[in-house]
């Protein structure tokens, strides 16, 4: 087991500026998109979706899930297109065998996306990265899930926290951001992964870093990246 992961437990307090494309300069860009605020004009861009995406959209039954899927697919195209200076309908997404999306032919462009409740959050960087946002559900009975998926050290962290729900969802986003950055996605042995002791199951020479912040007071967002001490820019779409 290697120890090459460093988690900053200090919560970031982002200052959000209006979305614009700026050079990465080895930094990290985080873009948040409020679904209800943007739904109207994103719906006007539905034509950007390719056939398989249109078909998937038509198969989704619940209106809320439809909105999330539509916004996520459209915004991936718009945001990546603006960074790469490619028309959004010409972006071709590729997928790793674990389904992590990437854009082929762009080795220096990395992105990841997550959605929960009313938010979609993207991370963009010159280096591999992953992001996860989760709504803190104060009524969620997390005990069963926690026993199955959290390491004993993580369970201890949650149980010792003054707000256990908040702590549970923070660990969740930390674990997920790591799994999404590495592209592993879903694994069976989630409880072997110990984010408290910063030990990972994956051999990797370059250290991963994880930072977290709250969105709107009700969501945790964590992101995982490889760059050393990058400047982090936060944008509101």
Ligand X SMILES: CC(C)(COP(=O)(O)OP(=O)(O)OC[C@H]1O[C@@H](n2cnc3c(N)ncnc32)[C@H](O)[C@@H]1OP(=O)(O)O)[C@@H](O)C(=O)NCCC(=O)NCCS
Closest residue to bound ligand X by CB: 185
Q: How far apart are CA 178 and CA 172, in angstroms?
A: 10
Q: Which is nearer to ligand X, 4 or 191 (CB)?
A: 191
Judged by CB, which is closer to ligand X: 203, or 229?
Answer: 203
Q: Which is nearer to ligand X, 17 or 192 (CB)?
A: 192
Q: First CA to last CA across the chain, in angstroms?
A: 40
Token representation of residue 102: 């990437």
Beta pairing partners, 95: 101
Give the shortest CB-21-to-ligand X separation in angstroms.
20
Of 18 and 53, nearer to ligand X (C-beta) is 53
Query: b or e along 132-145 (b: 16 or more beta carbons within 10 Å of the residue's beta carbon)?
Result: bbbbbeeeeebeee
Shortest Å, Cβ 29 to ligand X: 16
Instruction: Return all residues near 138 (Cβ < 8 A) that are at least 6 apart.
Output: 165
Rank residues 18 and 142 by Cβ distance to ligand X and give the closer one. Answer: 142
Smallest distance from ligand X to CB 201, Å: 13
CB of 93 to ligand X, least distance (A): 8
Interacting residues with ligand X (CB under 6 A): 72, 98-101, 112-115, 130, 132, 149, 172, 175-176, 179-180, 183, 185-186, 190
Asked if 122 and 78 touch (Cβ cutoff 8 Å), the reply is no
Q: How far is CA 179 from CA 189, 214, 220, 223, in A?
A: 12, 20, 16, 10
CB of 181 to ligand X, least distance (A): 7
């Amino acid at each position: 087991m290697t120890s090459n992961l460093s988690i900053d437990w200090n919560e970031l307090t982002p200052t959000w500026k209006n979305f614009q494309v700026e050079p990465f300069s080895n930094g990290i860009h985080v873009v948040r998109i409020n679904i209800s605020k943007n739904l109207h004009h994103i719906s006007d861009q539905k034509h950007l979706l390719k056939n398989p995406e249109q078909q998937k959209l038509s198969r989704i039954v619940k209106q809320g899930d439809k909105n999330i899927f539509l916004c996520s697919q459209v915004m991936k195209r718009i945001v990546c297109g603006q960074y790469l200076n490619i028309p959004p309908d010409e972006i071709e997404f590729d997928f790793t065998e674990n389904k992590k999306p990437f854009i082929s032919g762009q080795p220096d462009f990395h992105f990841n996306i997550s959605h929960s409740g009313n938010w979609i959050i993207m991370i963009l960087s010159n280096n591999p990265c992953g992001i996860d946002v989760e709504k803190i559900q104060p009524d969620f009975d997390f005990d069963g899930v926690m026993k199955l998926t959290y390491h004993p050290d993580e369970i201890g962290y949650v149980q010792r926290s003054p707000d256990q729900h908040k702590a549970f969802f923070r660990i969740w986003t930390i674990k997920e951001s790591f799994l999404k950055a590495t592209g592993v996605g879903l694994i069976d042995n989630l409880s072997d992964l110990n984010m408290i002791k910063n030990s990972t199951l994956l051999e990797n020479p370059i250290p991963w870093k994880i930072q977290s912040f709250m969105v709107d007071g009700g969501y945790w967002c964590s992101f995982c990246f490889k760059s050393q001490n990058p400047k982090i820019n936060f944008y509101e779409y």
